[in-house]
Amino acid sequence: MDLSKGVIFPIGDKFASEDFKGTVYLKMLTGSDTPCPIGNVTFEPACRNSWHVHAGGQILLVTGGYGWYQAWGEAAQELHAGDVVQIPGGVKHWHGATKNSWFTHLAISVLPEKGGTQWLESVDDIDYDKLNSERGLDNE
């Protein structure tokens, strides 16, 4: 599934960050000074972010493609359009595309006044590849 032109919301611009492995696009849909900043985040196949923590929490509304969400110490969840992930403040997690699919979601910052995002280590390539392989998602 190619989401490079966007699905519901514009794809936005390439977002250069050392906290993402691969190419990601970001289109902020609200201002960062609003009570709940909302961004449309689109990941190219195999792109994912590093482990991180949101002080106030985050909600992901999946709008297209296939992806992953994993909280520290828990099994990864495969995500599809229509899935909603509620991430409490202080929970270490990562999210991103499967190895062979684009993935897009709305990222809603919850209680941003509690603080920003704390970026941590990268998701291990071996663990990521194993996850995709176990689910049969590593074919091109």
Alpha-carbon distance of 114 to 8, in angstroms, equals 30
- For the chain, counts of helices (H) and of strands (E): 1, 12
Tally of domains in the chain: 1
Which of these ranges, 33-37, 47-51, 96-100, 101-105, has the smallest mean pLDDT?
Answer: 33-37
Which residue range forms the structural domain that includes residue 125? 13-134
Residue 6 in domain:
no
Q: Is the pTM of this model over 0.85?
A: yes
Which of these ranges, 8-12, 85-89, 103-107, has the smallest mean pLDDT?
Answer: 8-12
pLDDT at 61 over 80: yes
Residue 3 in domain:
no
Q: Give the pLDDT score at 140.
A: 47
Residue 126 in domain:
yes
pLDDT at 137 over 90: no
Q: Give the pLDDT score at 113.
A: 85
Q: To the nearest whole number, what is the mean pLDDT of the chain?
A: 91
Average pLDDT over residues 96-111: 95
Residue 1 in domain:
no
- CB distance 7 to 64 below 8 Å: yes
